[in-house]
Structure 1
């Protein structure tokens, strides 16, 4: 019997106000019919996109249809996520998804047709005063021109699309459906099931035997499937190499960085700068060993709690108030919008029956953003609220400052604003805290974020780079080869303070992100950029705040690297990562002081 309330029983004040998107179902239906009708119009321009006027008209039409579709889709999706069992909104979401595919098809001729123009004509369009609002769009289209093939070849590649999903789909089936872990013995000698979901909970168990048993059971299970998973992983790498060669990229890495126009140096700089900071991670490992009272630190001790469970109840109202205090350094313009979000029902706060799990920020251009939470009265939930409101305010300021087409920021930038909020909140809590136990609890929370978000994700990124380089050089990716590369990286990163258990060599086999290639580095760069921003805001005050607000108002109006650079964070240099590392060093020092 579920103890969660039904959606209808949730207090209205703790729910989001979706009437700000559509007044009612009739308004949604009317807009749906309008989009259904207007998606026929773009075809009138097919074969005629050769003048500034015709291109401007089709762009205006594309924006109008896309924006209306976005609102329809977001409204249906948000309603569905409130209660995923509700058949009305299941149907509405299906309708929105189907319409989305139809609209994509109706607009699909625009980019290829513009790309088929001779280079000179394309350059003239980019400089045309009539198309000034679309200059960045046209520059982006031109940048991809070298990697777009003929119509026939593109049609052929589109058909290969389903095949290219195979490695990821096969891994998903092995990992989520077929993989079965044995039961393990818990601290009371009772047999308990081990699952993907419970694995991290067992690694956080204060009882070391439970941690070790869970660790061994997981990697022994993966080791039994190593040949199949290595073949699947290798197929994914081969797929990447096929696309990079067909699309004429120098390497797979450069193909994946190209989407956001990220220079290769950003990737290699991250790895090199983290290498020079490995002594800091190893110093933290040493401190972890000392605080856990161990002679030897093992891989299964990495998630063990360093502080006896510190009970800290933080109600939702207290969380909002604390965040408003913690984000004061961002100035009144920022706080005013944040208060607006708190007061005007942007947020769906608590769990209810059927509600989607987790948390996110989302919305449609022209209306305020929305935030989904499943709030519990604890520290983690307070940081989640600060994080998601960081996303929401990034979207709000971008939408307010820019036209629809330029407002959407890239994934490369997405985690910066959310993590900056967390860093400022953490700084505030640490300065305010007078209880040594509470302070150590906060510092541990923060130190582990550095370990998992910067060091661990960079190690993953380095693994992907080495593996693809070896495959591109014609080497075979056997299970032994993959395990050896992965094990050696763990030794390199964790150093002599860590007893690197042989079992960890199989961890590469359980990371789903490796099938979304060259993505994980964005967690590390985003966290570094955010730490750098928060440090500048706290050290410099107003000039840094103004630059930061400029960043929030830039959306996707330029290349990500340029947007960050204008705000004072140059991700093509090691500086932001070094600034993040100096904050990490300060956290370790404070922990060492408290535990002398």
Structure 2
């Protein structure tokens, strides 16, 4: 039975009193912030008066944003620990309202700044030395100048934003609230209602008939609603292309990647490198066939464990194992990890009403808290190490950067977390001495690589193709997307579309296709992390120092430059090839163990 929160030992809960000592203190801060926001309206129209005025407005804006970050995080995490509590639902909503008010009050900021001539701006910096601290911040804003429209045009786009979000919002409502999935029989012959939540559990079942029933039942629903999903996705794609066009970008991809100042070549290099290495994917699929004893392997056979079992870890054992694996990063890093583990940064166990999943959060002035829903298994050990990677990234950034650079782009975020996962894999492989455990760890790694680098790049290819097709005047019907997706899937997995007819509808259930060129960053992040982990494990102290410098950089430089300094050129194929070398090496070992254990 899932416990109520009051039944959870306090040591397994995060300590949010380090943010605000009480709810009353939070409410007092909210009141003060709302007053300060009202007073800040006086800044409108003053920014261009002088260098001193620009500095004053900039610092006022950032100071309020910093306070609202802390306010929001408290309410958001209080709500996440038990989503049934109306009080914290209200706190969470009020935090969002404060952000909206901040945006409204300072809506003038960017247009007034970008209206300055280069000569005037340089004169302001010369007369007000305090502006130099914000040089990169201003540079990022000015980079966007060619794509900022007139005040009237920006107002029209802002007013239309709710209309533009109709595609993803309709998808979300239909997919999460309105779809009704059939019941299927589980391993025990019991009728169970299929859902998004239990689908992956059925796909991991050792009973092939259960996997088949879940798979066919799931996709029968998406087949039924394929035309509606085609329309919602087409609407989202058209919105991305329209916004890119009116803002004078060459494509939606250029517009999306420019937000993080990532060259489009990074995307193309990823797709090219992954396609070159598809034979490795096909080789792994062949190994699955052999170990599972299935000649006619289907898409529903890809998620079950190849081995008989996996190692199990209690939470306390997982903490110790994580510390062992991460000690390679040095005393300072390990000290921060121990602080996170011992000073209640982590909300560990599931309780009634608690948000599902896991994340790392917090704000510039708080601890880098983590939310888990712990289960005693290998996957949860990896989740702990993954979220710890995010939290250490945040902790180093906040300790070494001012607030203006105290965050980092999503392009960089997954690198820290998956570097930790790679370090854990290497540590576990170095210490296990039985073939079955080693087989399970290798299987876990290769499945993670397949699901991230290969699968997310397949998604990236599909996403690029549908945007380009719409831009060229192609109508994105369900028939068009079914055929496109089926061909891509066959290419990636080497499994024929004729033998796997249901997979043509998978595009309809992927929310990431509405995120506007988001998914490729999972692949680039995992590959860069693999390359960095290899440097940390086999390189010099300088390589470790460069890694810590990456964690400490925040947004003080462009993401590509940050990674270049860390030793990874993400415009080159080299980091991707290095990742595939690790995959192949571990695949070879799994093949050898399979011969030994399952011949």
TM-score range, shorter-chain basis? over 0.9
2:299 is equivalent to residue 309 of structure 1: no
455-464 vs 382-391, greater mean Cα deviation = 382-391
1:45 matched to 2:43: yes
Q: Kindly state the Cα deviation for residue 504 of structure 1 after the two structures are TM-superposed.
A: 1.1
Q: Structure 1: which 5+ residue stretches go unaligned?
A: none
Task: Name 1:247's counterpart in structure 2.
Answer: 247
Q: CA RMSD in A?
A: 1.7
SS in 2 for 1:350: coil
- Give, in angstroms, the shift of residue 526 of structure 1: 0.8
Deviations 1:484-520 (A, max 9, x none): 1111111111126997512211111111111112110
Q: Which residue of 2 aligns with 1:267?
A: 267
Q: Using the TM superposition, give the Cα deviation of residue 172 of structure 1 relative to its aligned residue in structure 2, in angstroms.
A: 1.7
Which residues of 2 match residues 142-181 of structure 1 at below 5 A?
142-181=142-181
Deviates more, 1:226-235 or 1:412-421: 226-235
In 2, are the aligned partners of 1:395 and 1:408 still within 8 Å (CA)?
yes
For the pair 1:12 / 2:10, whether they are aligned, the reply is yes
User: Could you report, residue by residue, the CA deviation over 1:317-365 in whole angstroms, capped at 9, with x for unpaired residues?
Assistant: 1111111111121111100111111111111111222222211111121
Greater CA drift, 293-302 or 427-436: 293-302
Deviation, structure 1 residue 300: 1.3
Query: Are the counterparts in 2 of residues 253 and 465 from structure 1 also a CA contact under 8 Å?
Result: yes
Shift in Å at residue 177 of structure 1?
2.6
Gapped regions of structure 2 (runs ≥ 5): none
Q: Which residue of 1 aligns with 2:140?
A: 140
Closer/same/farther in 2, CA of residues 488 and 24 from structure 1, 3 Å limit: same
Whether the 8 Å CA contact 1:327–1:425 is kept in 2: the answer is yes
- After alignment, is 40-49 or 517-526 more displaced? 40-49
Question: What's the CA shift for 1:550?
Answer: 0.3
Per-residue CA deviations over 1:447-469 (Å, capped at 9, x if unaligned) read 10010011000000000111111
| Counterpart-to-counterpart distance in 2, 1:308 and 1:427 | 21
Partner residue, 2:194: 194
Tell me, in whole angstroms, the C-alpha distance in 2 between the residues paired with 1:68 and 1:480: 50
Asked if the contact 1:222/1:510 (under 8 Å) is kept, the reply is: yes
Partner of 1:571: helix, strand, or coil?
coil
> How big is the shift at 1:171?
1.4
Alignment of 1:115-134 (within 5 A): 115-125=114-124, 129-134=129-134
2:360 is paired with a residue whose SS is strand
Aligned to 1:298: 298
The answer to whether the 8 A contact 2:241-2:251 is kept is: yes
2:269/2:573 contact within 8 Å kept = yes
* Residues in 2 aligned to 1:178 and 1:44: alpha-carbon distance in whole angstroms: 47
Does the CA contact (< 8 Å) of 2:44 and 2:106 recur in 1? no
Structure 1 window deviating more from structure 2 (517-526 vs 296-305): it is 296-305
Residue 91 of structure 1: how far off its partner (Å): 2.8
User: Scaled by the length of structure 2, what TM-score is found?
Assistant: 0.96
Where does residue 489 of structure 2 map in the other structure? 490
Q: Separation in 1 of the partners of 2:319 and 2:192?
A: 38
CA distance in 2: counterparts of 1:232 and 1:86, whole angstroms:
33
The 3 A distance-change label for structure 1 pair 254 and 428 is same
Match of 2:206 in 1: 206
Deviations 1:345-391 (A, max 9, x none): 11111122222221111112133211111112221111111111111
Question: Which deviates further from its counterpart, 544-553 or 358-367?
Answer: 358-367
What is the CA distance between 1:208 and its match in structure 2?
A: 1.5
Q: Using the TM superposition, give the Cα deviation of residue 178 of structure 1 relative to its aligned residue in structure 2, in angstroms.
A: 2.8
Contact 1:533 1:548 (8 Å CA) reproduced: yes
Matching residue within 20, 26, 29 for 2:27: 29
Shift of 1:425: 0.7
Q: Using the alignment, how far apart are the partners of 1:82 and 1:298 within structure 2? A: 39
**CA 86–218 in structure 1, closer or farther in 2 if over 3 Å, else same:** closer
Q: Deviations over 1:406-451 (max 9, x none)?
A: 1110111111111111110111001101111111111111110010
Question: Is contact 1:371–1:392 with CA below 8 Å preserved after alignment?
Answer: yes
Cα 1:4–1:191 change in 2 (3 A) is: closer
Contact 1:299/1:498 (<8 A) preserved = no
Encode CA deviations 1:278-334: one digit per residue, 9 max, x unaligned: 011011011011000111211111112211233x33111111111111112111110
Pairwise mapping of residues 342-381 of structure 1 onto structure 2 (< 5 A)? Answer: 342-381=341-380
Counterpart of 2:339? 340
The answer to whether structure 1 residue 467 and structure 2 residue 466 are counterparts is: yes
Give, in whole Å, the separation in 2 of the partners of 1:188 and 1:18.
43
CA–CA distance in 2 between the matches of 1:246 and 1:443? Answer: 48
Q: Distance in 2 between matches of 1:200 and 1:427?
A: 27
2:567 is aligned to 568
Conserved? CA contact 1:296–1:499, under 8 Å = no
SS in structure 2 at match of 1:89: helix
Q: Secondary structure at the match of 2:334?
A: helix
Q: Deviations over 1:4-62 (max 9, x none)?
A: 33322322222222221122233323322221221123222211212211111111111
Partner SS, residue 260 of structure 1: coil
TM norm structure 1: 0.96
2:40–2:105 Cα contact (<8 Å) kept: yes
- Describe the shift of the 1:439–1:57 C-alpha distance in structure 2 as closer, same or farther (beyond 3 A): same
Aligned counterparts of 2:174 and 2:32: Cα–Cα separation in 1: 44
1:72 positional shift = 1.3
| Structure 1 residues 447 and 124, CA gap change in structure 2 (3 angstroms) | farther
Partner residue, 2:401: 402
Check the 8 A contact 1:126/1:139 in 2, yes or no.
no
Aligned pair 1:281/2:281, yes or no? yes
1:123 Cα deviation (Å)? 5.0
CA distance in 2, matches of 1:162, 1:428: 49
Hey, what does 2:225 align to over in structure 1? Answer: 225
Q: How far, CA to CA, are the matches of 2:68 and 2:354 in structure 1?
A: 24
Q: Establish whether residue 330 from structure 1 lines up as the match of residue 334 from structure 2.
A: no
* Residue correspondences, number: 593
The answer to whether the 8 A contact 2:83-2:353 is kept is yes
8 Å CA contact retained: 2:253, 2:464: yes
